[in-house]
Structure 1
Amino acid sequence: MVRQKKAPAARRRPMSREEALARQERQQRRRELEQESRELAKGPIDLPFFILVMLLSGVGLVMLLSASFPSAYYETDGQNPMSYFIRQGVFAIMGVAAMLFIGKINYQRFRGLAKPLLYLAVILLLLVIIPGNPFAFTVNNATRWLGLNATLRFQPSEIAKLAVVIYFADSISKKKDRMQTFRYGIAPYAVLLIVLAALVGIEPHLSGAILIMGAGAVMMLVGGIHWRWVGLAMGAAGLLLYLVLGVIGYNASRIEMWHNPWLDPQGAGYQLRQSLITIGSGGLWGVGLGKSRQKFLYLPEEHNDFIFAIVCEELGLIGATVIMLLFAALILRGFWIALHARDRFGSLMVVGVMTLVGLQTFLNIGVVTGLLPTTGISLPFFSYGGTALSIQLAEMGIVLSVSRQMKPTKAG
């Protein structure tokens, strides 16, 4: 048997001295950057931001206890009137622990989560809309939850929002000048936003789709694309959402009741009518903490999407204004951290996270006060929802992680 000789392997061209030196310099620079990143990651977290998060979380728990007490009392036949508060408190502790843990991680490691988290979000969103899925839960004609039972469940849209922030930050930070082109800066991100918004909208969860598209659009704009592209992309995505999902028909009654809830005061307009009555009952100084009358089964979703109405009733215009100022201070401090972030990746992540918080806060307060149509959106740190609160606090941990490596600012 004659053995065939193996073809000689192609020999690599020997590296020149200049190329070898350049390679060594690149490797040395990479090691220096990694070492610098490790050293900077040991810096202190941004204390003002941390204090604002803890203040809002603490006030939110107090208001949740006040707003949920009557519902919990009636639902448990007086056995456990603090059930909502206890469960939310457990998730708040878990969320704070996650925030502190994530805050100590070098945020460069989050790059590795970009694609896996995005794939996971798409899979979970598909599981929600699969007909007959026993792990999907429907509440008020909307299937938005996955879980084992009514207690152990979560909204995949929360994971989708975080996935968009991390993936966009990782991808955009690598493209730099190519973000100004349609092929690299517009098309891939617009397609991704349309797909995710459509999956969330099918549930239907219009406010969740708005948050995803809004955060993505702001990150694209900050990443370097022209603002006209954002307008065109958002317009095209919104049009497709209306055509494919029939959102106009789904929200037609809500739009009508938004204009005049007294057209059907005991039906479709009842929610907004009671919300406006609740807000008006508070006056300037409020009726007092824990003394709300509307929370005694008059105002639906009083401990969830419409908890801000209870805040207005019990704390009045003054108290509600203070809480809105705390939200404003948190958002502004977050963007300040983004401006002083060490690199584009960290800056874009913080911009995405704070856009989600700011947009969600604006939409919730707008809905509760009648400024916007009812869309079913919660108030960050206040509304009942354990997994949502934990994820929100974890997102605050990302901001704290970036703040540990901020560029030094001039004194005075």
Structure 2
Amino acid sequence: MTQTRPRRRPLTHQEKLALQERKQRRREKMEESRELAKGPIDLTFCLLVMLLTAIGLVILLSASFPSAYYEKAPSRHNPLYYFEKQGVFAVLGTAVMLLVSKFNYQRLRGAGRALIYVSVIFLILVIIPHNPIAVTAKGATRWLKIGIQFQPSEIAKVAIITYFADSISRKKDKMRSFRYGVLPYAFILVVVAGLVAVEPHLSGAILILGAGAAMMLVGGINWIWVGTAAGAAVGMVYVALFVIGYNKSRVIYWLDPWADAADKGYQLSQSLITIGSGGLWGLGLGKSRQKFLFLPEEHNDFIFSIACEELGLVGAGIIMLLFAALILRGYWIALHTRDRFGTLLVVGFTTQLAVQVFLNISVVTGLLPTTGISLPFFSYGGTALLIQLAEMGVILSVSRQMKPTKAG
């Protein structure tokens, strides 16, 4: 026996008018958004991104040519191997950034949910034992190779920010309740960041948690939950660093890298030697000594150490000031957007950038234990650079629709 669906109550004349008015308002908002999307991008933010990318390529060329010449089997005796590959992605990424900046960011609404599903599937594929498409390097399985090699955690970062921005922007006052403003987002963060941490990729998990927490805070959650989450985060970091054996050794030799400078503390001790060798003004661009196979990961996670050695405290300080200017400009754009969705998008991507820069510089200078985290726009990694520049393109897209200001 088939069941028949109950008939819906026919709408009254007033309800039909109200529905038509809502549809008309949505059409008007979309039309207004399309017109505003034709406005100029924030030139200051764009120039800062391009300047950092260009400086990053120069430092990468200097830092990478010894290892490219001596170690890279596919192109042995080609000192430009890393630079050429990164240069292609930098040009492509800049084109993608400018292209994305022309899109109306409102079209990203709804894409976050699909990206969450895709990123979770990819993250599960990474941690499945003996998966033929998973790539393991230096004791961690963080990559998938499906035609191209990429880190699913990079997609997860974009997914979290896009979905949170769309969902939080619709809830408004509901964000102050635990049921609607904390629980669903905390669950998503725990699942996604947990999968990333299992790889293991602790720094990637921290980036996801940091961006998500910042967006929830801007979205209006109660400060009580912020304090609770901060306490829980401190507890989890303690467990990760002092209880789990994989990370415990890193903490021991972080506190005293000279205790085993030839083995466990080798990377950090060499990094500190590299930074100290630069002095105030540096040895000169291209004149680093430590990059000649003394400092591991000199063109990747520890590229800032080479910048310190060649450019000195002054040059490294200028690089940090440029990053600070970019981050502050990002938050300035967030303060001048026309809607909550744009504000949350910019806050998410800017916070992620800020946390990543802070963690990388803290690691290479010994302020924090060694973790595998790259320096945006500088470290070698084509797909990571491409995604970073695409994210900057989203911020530029939002900047087209900023509220008018007296001074930009």
TM-score (norm 2): 0.94
Q: Is the 8 A contact 2:156 2:192 kept in 1?
A: yes
> For 1:98, which of 96, 100, 105 is the aligned residue?
96
Q: Write the deviation string for residues 13-59 of structure 1: whole angstroms up to 9, x where unpaired.
A: 4622x434333332322221111011001111110000000000000
Q: Shift of residue 282 of structure 1? A: 0.3
Could you tell me how far apart the structure 2 residues matched to 1:58 and 1:276 are?
Answer: 25
2:99/2:393 contact within 8 Å kept? yes
Inter-partner Cα distance in structure 1 for 2:170 and 2:341: 8
What's the CA shift for 1:234? 4.3
Post-superposition CA distance 1:125-151 (Å, at most 9, x none): 0000000001111111111111158xx
Counterpart of 1:19 in 2: which secondary structure? helix
Report whether the alignment pairs 1:84 with 2:88.
Answer: no
**TM-aligned CA distance change 1:388 to 1:8, over 3 Å:** closer
Q: Which one of 171, 174, 190 corresponds to residue 175 of structure 1? A: 171
2:162 to 163, 166, 170: 166
Contact persistence 1:44–1:404 (CA under 8 A): yes
Q: Which residue of 2 is the match for residue 70 of structure 1?
A: 66
The alpha-carbon deviation at position 389 of structure 1 amounts to: 0.4
Percent sequence identity is 69
Match of 1:406 in 2: 402
Q: Partner of 1:123 in structure 2?
A: 121
Shift of 1:237: 5.5
Aligned residue runs from structure 1 range 185-196, under 5 A: 185-196=181-192
SS in 2 for 1:138: strand
| Maintained 8 Å contact 1:180/1:226 | yes
> What SS does the aligned partner of 2:110 have?
helix
Question: For residue 174 of structure 2, what is the amino acid of its counterpart?
Answer: R
User: For residue 345 of structure 2, what is the amino acid of its counterpart?
Assistant: M
Question: Which residue type is aligned with residue 85 of structure 2?
Answer: R
Preserved CA contact (<8 Å) 1:198 1:241: no
Alpha-carbon spacing, 1:280–1:24, altered in 2? closer, same or farther (3 Å):
same
Q: What's the CA shift string for 1:337-362, capped at 9, x where partnerless?
A: 00011100010010000001000000
- What is the DSSP-based 3-state SS (H/G/I as helix, E as strand, rest coil) of the residue aligned with 1:212? helix
What's the C-alpha RMSD, in Å, of the aligned pairs?
2.1
Correspondence for 1:226: 222
The separation in 1 between residues aligned to 2:92 and 2:243, in whole angstroms, is 36
1:345-364 counterparts in 2 under 5 A?
A: 345-364=341-360
Q: Distance in 1 between matches of 2:9 and 2:64?
A: 72
> How far apart in 2 are the matches of 1:56 and 1:310?
16
Give how far 1:197 is off: 1.4
Deviations 1:80-123 (A, max 9, x none): 11000001111111111111111111001111211111101100
* Residue 205 of structure 2: aligned partner: 209
Q: Is the 8 A contact 1:129 1:203 kept in 2?
A: yes
Contact 1:213 1:234 in 2 (8 A): no
Q: Specify which of 257, 262, 265 is matched with residue 266 of structure 1.
A: 262
Amino acid in structure 1 at the alignment position of 2:177: T
Is residue 15 of structure 1 aligned with residue 15 of structure 2?
Answer: no
Matched residue, 1:154: 150
Residue 229 of structure 1: how far off its partner (Å):
0.7
Amino acid at match of 2:321: L
Aligned CA distance change for structure 1 residues 191 and 283 (closer, same or farther; 3 Å): same
Provide structure 2 residue ranges, at least 5 long, that are not aligned to the other structure. none
Gap regions ≥5 residues in structure 1: 1-6
How many correspondences in the alignment? 404
1:316 is matched with which residue?
A: 312
Moved more, 79-88 or 356-365: 79-88
Q: Which whole-Å CA distance do the structure 2 matches of 1:280 and 1:246 have between them?
A: 29
Q: 1:54-65 to 2 correspondence within 5 Å?
A: 54-65=50-61
Amino acid of the structure 2 residue aligned with 1:219: M
